C-alpha cells in the first residue's frame, strides 16, 4: 500500500508516505526512498534524504547540503555532479518555509531520536529555518571534510539559528581551519552564536581522547611483586 501511494499524483500523499517509510527505519524501503530522491516535489525529495540518512545511507547527501546552504551558493566539489532537479526550490527561502511547515509534522515524531535542543531551535524561528537546522543536526553524524566545510561556511549564514547550529557541530572537529572559523564567530552580533562558538572552540582545541594501552608487566616485575606479597 505504501509503495502504491508513493506513486500517487498528489504530492502531499507522496510526502506523507515517504516520511512514514523513513520514520520506520525499515531497510526494505531503502530502494523506494532512493527513487523518491528524484521526485519533482522538493519536500518529498528532502523527506527521502532525511529518511535515508537515518538509516546510514548517504544517497541524499547533496540534497541535505543544498538545504543547509539555503540561499547561499554551495561549492561544486561539496555536492558532486548533477544536483537534484528541484535544486532551485531547495535554495529558495519561501520553498524552505513551505517544506518546514510540512516536515514539522513528521520530523520529530516516531523513532527519529532528535534532541530537545534541536526541537527548540527548529521552532523558535520561522518555518524556513526548520529544515535547515534539522539538516545541520543530521549532518553532525558525518565527520567528513566536505561536511565540515559546510558548517564553516554556515557560520556566515544570514540566519542566526543556522549559525548557532553550525557552531555547535564544529566542536566535533579538529584543526586550525575549524578553530580559526570559530574564533571569527566570537564577533557575531548574536550572543547565542558567540557563546556556542566559544564552547565549541574549547572542545575543538582539545586533542582527540585516546585510550591508554595497558602496560604489559615484565617477568621480573611480576616476580618482584610476588616476593613483596
Give the model's confidence band at 41: pLDDT under 50 very low, under 70 low, under 90 confident, else very high: confident
For the chain, the first-to-last Cα distance in angstroms comes to: 73
Which among 153, 182, 137 is positioned nearest to 79, based on CA atoms?
Answer: 153
Range in 11-20, 37-46, 173-182, 206-215 the model is least confident about: 206-215
| Tens-digit pLDDT profile for residues 69-86 | 876 655 444 444 344 444
The pLDDT of residue 89 is 56
CA distance readout (Å), 122 to 98, 132, 191: 14, 8, 18
Question: What rounded mean pLDDT belongs to the chain?
Answer: 74
Decide: 121 and 165 in contact? Cβ < 8 Å.
Answer: yes
Average pLDDT estimate for 119-139: 61
Average pLDDT estimate for 169-186: 94
Distance of alpha carbon 155 from alpha carbon 68, whole angstroms: 11
Distance of alpha carbon 147 from alpha carbon 65, whole angstroms: 8
The pLDDT of residue 113 is 40
| Tens-digit pLDDT profile for residues 44-73 | 888 898 889 989 999 888 888 887 887 665
CB atoms within 10 A of CB 148: 21
Handedness of CA 100, 102, 107, 108 (dihedral sign): positive
Average pLDDT estimate for 119-135: 56
| Tens-digit pLDDT profile for residues 94-103 | 555 555 544 5
**Domains, in order of start, for the chain:** 1-139 (no CATH), 143-208 (1.25.10.10)
Residue with cell 505504501: 2
Amino acid at each position: 500500500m505504501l509503495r502504491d501511494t508513493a506513486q500517487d499524483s498528489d504530492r502531499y500523499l507522496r510526502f506523507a508516505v515517504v516520511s512514514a517509510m523513513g520514520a520506520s527505519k525499515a531497510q526494505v524501503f531503502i530502494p523506494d526512498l532512493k527513487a523518491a530522491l528524484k521526485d519533482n516535489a522538493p519536500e518529498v525529495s528532502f523527506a527521502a534524504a532525511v529518511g535515508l540518512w537515518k538509516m546510514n545511507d548517504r544517497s541524499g547527501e547533496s540534497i541535505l547540503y543544498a538545504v543547509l546552504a539555503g540561499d547561499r551558493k554551495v561549492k561544486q566539489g561539496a555536492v558532486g555532479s548533477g544536483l537534484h532537479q528541484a535544486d532551485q526550490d531547495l535554495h529558495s527561502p519561501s520553498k524552505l518555509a513551505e517544506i518546514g511547515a510540512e516536515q514539522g509534522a513528521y520530523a520529530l515524531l516516531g523513532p527519529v531520536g532528535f534532541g530537545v535542543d534541536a526541537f527548540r531551535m527548529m521552532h523558535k524561528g520561522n518555518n524556513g529555518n526548520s529544515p535547515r537546522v534539522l539538516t545541520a543536526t543530521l549532518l553532525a553524524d558525518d565527520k567528513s571534510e566536505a561536511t565540515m566545510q559546510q558548517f564553516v561556511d554556515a557560520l556566515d549564514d544570514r540566519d542566526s539559528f543556522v549559525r548557532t547550529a553550525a557552531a555547535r557541530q564544529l566542536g566535533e572537529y579538529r584543526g586550525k581551519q575549524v578553530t580559526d572559523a570559530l574564533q571569527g564567530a566570537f564577533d557575531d552580533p548574536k550572543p547565542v552564536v558567540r557563546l556556542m562558538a566559544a564552547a565549541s572552540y574549547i572542545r575543538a582545541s582539545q586533542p582527540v581522547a585516546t585510550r591508554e594501552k595497558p602496560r604489559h608487566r615484565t617477568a621480573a616485575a611480576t616476580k618482584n611483586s610476588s616476593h613483596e606479597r
